[in-house]
Structure formats: structure tokens, C-alpha cells
Structure 1
Amino acid sequence: MRRPLFDPLLALMAGILTGDFIALPLLTVLTGMLVVLLVLLLCVRNQWNRAAFFLILLLLFIAGLFNIQRQLYLVHQNHHIIHQADQGQVTLEGVILSADQTSTENNALTVRCLRIIQDNSDRPVTGKLRLVVPANLLLQYGDLIRFHSKIKRIQSFHNPGSFNYERTLNRQGIYVSGFVANAAGIVLIRHNSASGIKLKLESFRLQLKQLIYANAPSPQREILEAMTIGN
């Protein structure tokens, strides 16, 4: 039985694994992809099927390599938030992409940064930031916020074992973190600044959580929350 997808998937996986260990310049990757694509079109036009199949595998290999390294390429942009690390207190605006409870005292927000405010003026910034805030702040997906914090690079804990915290967050496009100690350091500008299906889903999850907390005592409500909405 023939397996037409086995070789392409294997090539894509090989590219991802290679890119995880070897970092190549963006220009090199894009140039290689363009050259392979042009030669592939030539092979298809001349019906050189074996060569075309090999070039398809090579193109998928390069695509996998690019996919695993794309966050690294974005970091080198001039407006990326990583360039504000270790620069003291800064004021930033961004949209919340996720909100996770890390402890009874704190929540961890993933924020897509939009602008930095300095010297009574603002300029655009890009990239994601992990922001730790007090758990009593009622913030959710899609909220546009302004906060005041020191920005620091994500670092691993260097604990025994194979888990690499820094690498895991970097793969998600998160290279820096911030901390807000109390409500004075953060302002909610407006709700629902995001769009799409996820915003509706997160709004439904919040309504369901409020319903559970209004009708169930602790610890039953925490158990119901974990079972129904996964918090």
C-alpha cells in the first residue's frame, strides 16, 4: 500500500528538528526557499517528476526549519519588546491574549504589546510579554491594558531535569516578563479589543465561571470550575 504523505511529513518533521538545533539567518532560509521553488516550477513544467518530488521534500524541509525559527526572526526587529529589557520602569499598552492563575495570589497574563509611552509620546512595539499581576484584578482575554513595570528577559530556573522553561516560552514568542504588584500599576482601557471566535469563547467561559462562583461554595466551586472550563 502506497503512503503518499509519509515522505512529505517526514521532510517537514526533519526540518523542524534541524531548526530546533541549528539557527540560520532569515535571508539564507528565504533565499533557499525561493531557489528551490523556482527550480521546482521548472521541473514541473518539463515533467521531471522524480526531481520535482525531491524538490517538494526539500521545500517542506526548509518550511519546517523556518516554522520553528520564525519567533527568533521576529526578535531581531527594531520595535520588538525584548529591546526594552533591563531598561528600568517603562509604561506599555497591550492586549491580553491569555490569563492563567499561577497561584492564589497571582495570575500570569500573556500580553501582545502595542506601544510604549515615554516622554509624553508613544511609539509602536511588537512581541509578547508575560505579565504577573495580582489575582484579584478582573482581567480577561481581549482587554486592552496600560501598565507600568520593569521588563526582564525570561530565564530558566536551571533545575535538574530536561525541562527548559526559557526555551518553552521562547517557542511561544515570549522572551520577556514583567510584574505588577498592585492595582495602581495597571489600568484597564477597554474590554473586547480582540476579535473572532476566541473572544466569544472566553466571554462564555467567564460567564460560566461567574455562575459557578455565585451558586457553589468552596471547595466545590473550584472543582466544578476545573472540570467545566479547565481553570
Structure 2
Amino acid sequence: MKSTNKSIYSLLNNHKIVLIVISFILGILLNEYLRSPWVLAGITGLFGGIIALYFRNLRFLLFIPLGLVFSANSQLISADNILNFAGEKIDLEGVLYRSPETRESGSRLYLQTDTVFISGVKEPASGRVIIYSADDSQLLAYGDRVRLVDIKLRPIENFKNPGGFNLRKFYERQGIYARGFVEGQESIISFGRDRSYSPVLHYIDIVRIKFGNFVRAGFPSPENAILNAITVG
């Protein structure tokens, strides 16, 4: 047993990069179970700095707060973050940063927000949201600027299963903070392609969507789904 412990100690002492990597990974894993990792990152960073001053061999512990910061949500919740408007009836405007996805019933839109209207008052907004529509968004494509009328956003929450998949953090890493639902096309106003998005990619996405709609209309299920998956994804 003693020889095994000595071998492990010798290995770690001669390959300190292993301790650094382990500490960094530990910080990332801790973030998965924390709602606000910034406080713990500050505390561990402070104590890690003090320990490093007196115990040079323990400097690798400084990589725990670095792992926390690395895996934490990079965007702090600012005053204009879309989460601050969750639960209110608003008109929401932004750009589709991904192509709309067709579902069995309706569609899913990925919106980069920049403006909200509350009781007719225009305010800046930031952050991404997922919007579910009861209708198929056949007329929308990547890069389109849209306004969603009378929508109420909800924060993304985890399921109540202990040890289950952390859905909230999964979306936060993508900058997605909330989701909402609109009844149909009458609640979606399209202004066409936003100037900041590539016209070439916008046109390609339109062609892809039209082809997908043609396949869904011309072939029975599940053949149409398989053909779309093979050709346009």
C-alpha cells in the first residue's frame, strides 16, 4: 500500500500537469451543480491565492476557480438581458440566427433578440430565445428580422429529476435564456433579411426550406422525413 502511495505521489510530483488538469476539470464539474458559480469562483480564487503564497506545491488549486469561470455562463445578466422581461406580455424583435426547425406540429425559431416593446415603449434587449409556433414557419429563413406580437417568455428550467440532464446550463452555454410560444403566423411579423446577415446564406436557406416543404408535401411519412434528413438535414 505504501509503495502504491509513493508511486502515485511520485507520478503526480513529476507530472504536475496532471494535477492542473484534474483541478481544472473539477472546477468545470462543480459548475454543473451550482446556480451561480461566480461566488464560489471568487472564494476559491481568494483562498487558492493565499494557499499558493505559502504552499508552492499546491498552486495547482488555482485552476479550480479557473475551471469554474471557464464553464460558467460568460454573459452576466445585464439590465437589458431578455430574462428581465420574462413573465411580461411584450412584443419581441430580433433576427433568426438559425434556420427554423419544422416539428410534428408547428415549428421552432431561434431568435437573437435586440428590442422589446412594453406597452408601446421601445427598449433594448439582449440574449437568445427559443420560440415555439403552432404553425409551420414556411416563409421564414435564417437571417430574417421578425417581430413577435404579444408573447410571454419563460426562463428555461430544469426537470425536477435529481442528477438529471442540466437543460438550463446546456442552453445558457449557447446564450439562450428563455423560451416562449406564439399561436401562429398572425403573431409573427417578418421584415425580411437583416442587413447584418449574409444574403448568400439567406438564399441558400430559403432554397433548403422550399425543398424540404416540397418533399413533405409530395411524399408520405416516414419516407419524407428520411429523405429530408438525407438531403437537407
Give the TM-score, by structure 2 length: 0.69
- What per-residue deviation string (whole Å, max 9, x for no partner) do you get for residues 143-194 of structure 1? 2111121122334454798345445434433332211112221111231455
Partner of 2:130: 130
Match of residue 19, structure 1, among 31, 53, 67: 31
Q: 1:24 to 1:183 in 2, by over 3 A?
A: closer
Partner of 1:229: 232
Q: 1:8 to 1:156 in 2, by over 3 A?
A: closer
Amino acid at match of 2:67: G
Q: 1:98 to 1:79 in 2, by over 3 A?
A: same
**Cα contact 1:23–1:69 (8 A) shared by 2:** no
**Cα contact 2:114–2:124 (8 A) shared by 1:** yes
Q: Give the RMSD, CA atoms, in angstroms.
A: 4.0
Amino acid at match of 1:10: I
**Cα contact 1:212–1:225 (8 A) shared by 2:** yes
Name stretches of at least 5 consecutive residues in structure 2 with no aligned partner. 1-13
Name stretches of at least 5 consecutive residues in structure 1 with no aligned partner. 44-49
Partner of 1:188: 190
Partner of 2:116: 116
Partner of 1:210: 210
Is 1:162 the equivalent of 2:164?
A: yes
**Cα contact 2:99–2:205 (8 A) shared by 1:** no
Match of residue 22, structure 2, among 10, 13, 17: 10
* Structure whose alpha-carbon radius of gyration is higher: 2
Q: 1:194 to 1:227 in 2, by over 3 A?
A: farther
- What per-residue deviation string (whole Å, max 9, x for no partner) do you get for residues 67-87 of structure 1? 32225x623x22111121222
Equivalent pairs: percent with the same residue? 24
Partner of 2:3: none
Q: 1:97 to 1:34 in 2, by over 3 A?
A: farther
Is 1:66 the equivalent of 2:69?
A: yes
Distance in 2, matches of 1:215 and 1:177, equals 29
Is 1:97 the equivalent of 2:97?
A: yes
Larger displacement relative to structure 2 (168-177 or 180-189): 168-177
Q: 1:54 to 1:195 in 2, by over 3 A?
A: farther
Structure 2 counterpart SS, 1:12: helix
- In the TM superposition, residue 66 of structure 1 has moved relative to its aligned partner by 1.1
Q: 1:78 to 1:25 in 2, by over 3 A?
A: farther
Distance in 1, matches of 2:28 and 2:196, equals 30
**Cα contact 1:114–1:126 (8 A) shared by 2:** yes
Give the TM-score, by structure 1 length: 0.70
Distance in 1, matches of 2:187 and 2:130, equals 15
- What per-residue deviation string (whole Å, max 9, x for no partner) do you get for residues 58-110 of structure 1? 45432320132225x623x22111121222x2011112222453623211112
**Cα contact 2:215–2:228 (8 A) shared by 1:** no
Amino acid at match of 1:127: G
